[in-house]
Amino acid sequence: MGVLRSTQSMQAEVEEMRAALFHGGGGAAGWRPSAGDNDVKRAVDGDEGAAGPRTVCVTGGISFVGFAIVDRLLRHGYTVRLALETQEDLDKLREMEMFGEDGRDGVWTVMANVMEPESLHRAFDGCTGVFHTSAFVDPGGMSGYTKHMASLEAQAAERVIQACVRTESVRKCVFTSSLLACVWRQNHPHERRGPTIVDENCWSDESFCRNNKLWFALGKTAAEKAAWRAARGRDLKLVTVCPALVTGPGFRRRNSTASIAYLKGSGVMLADGVLATANVATVAEAHVRVYEAMGDNTAGGRYICYDHVIRRAEEFAELERQLGIPSRTAATQSVDDDDRPARFELCKRKLGRLMSSRRRCTYDDYYCPVTFQ
């Protein structure tokens, strides 16, 4: 959010985003260069075409995950309002030359600051749903994320939900959290015949994250809890998606700081069996499918999302290579040598049922009240 980059870096990112649309098998039919003015249309009061029953707002829509969600929403026939925070974000969209005028390609933009409830309310007004994918990233610092960022992320989450509640048209919100909000706990049971299951009922321990300087995990945990507190007892349907480390084409450049922050403590996660990845296309589809299932009350609560669990040091070394970060394989090599079963086992059964089932279900099949552990 608001990270300044060099012109060369931004241009490279724009080219990767364009390539992802045209050559990566992604992109809705409407995502094409316009024959007219290249300016992206800004939604303003009185723009009747910018709102409707299938109009949704996406915060952080040009981030790695947000961009994929916007693409998937367009594929599903939604009109998307992008909530942009900086002029740099708007300039990036204009350079992409993907959107036509007056929102005819299904995308509108509006400037909104996630720390300012009034600007969020204006951005959300007229939308039936909100996808909050925006996140704080600090490019300075070794992990790419700081304690201060964690605090800001929780504040932003609360204000986004408050704006959703305040906005009469908004009925649903899908909140992008992280698997890290589920896996970092202390005082786990050690004497068990099998691994401990980690699912949507599990919450990371904020004190443990704070004591071990796991700031990214702390931020995601605190932000998701803040969102649930703000939504409790309100006329708003909230669902959170907790993806593992998000990968996919171009993730090294477009998601590097978040990836490096995610991997802090990766040696422990690898040993415990909870280091996992999720392709960005899977994450985007999960968001849209969950959102649509909320409409008939067949989705609710939290959803863990991942494609692959990294179990061997060699796999982790390859991930480090793709990210261009110094290899720590030697420090984790003993995990393989011990040949011990992992203490924990990730479970995504809840999302799997939702993604694959064709039967009609009741809300109670999927929903259970969110509790903090």
Tokens coding 294: 């909320």
Residues 260 and 283: their CA atoms lie apart, in Å, by 19
Euclidean distance between CA atoms 288 and 286, whole angstroms: 6
CA 26 to chain centre: 18
Q: Judge whether 237 and 271 are in contact, CB under 8 Å.
A: no
Structure tokens at 189: 């049971």
> Measured between alpha carbons, how far is residue 252 from residues 66, 240, 277 in Å?
16, 25, 13
The residues facing 341 across adjacent strands are none
CA pseudo-torsion sign 155, 108, 255, 372: positive
**Contact status, residue 69 vs residue 135, Cβ threshold 8 Å:** no
Query: Is 147 an active-site residue?
Result: no
SS3 283: helix
DSSP 289-306: HHHHHHTTT---EEEEE-
Number of neighbours of residue 200 by Cβ within 10 angstroms = 20
Q: CA-CA distance, 152 to 218, in Å (whole number)?
A: 11
Strand-pair partners of 176: 241
Angle at 253 between CA 70 and CA 184, to 5 degrees: 80
Of the residues 41, 220, 264, 350, which is catalytic? 220
- Residues labelled as active-site residues: 220
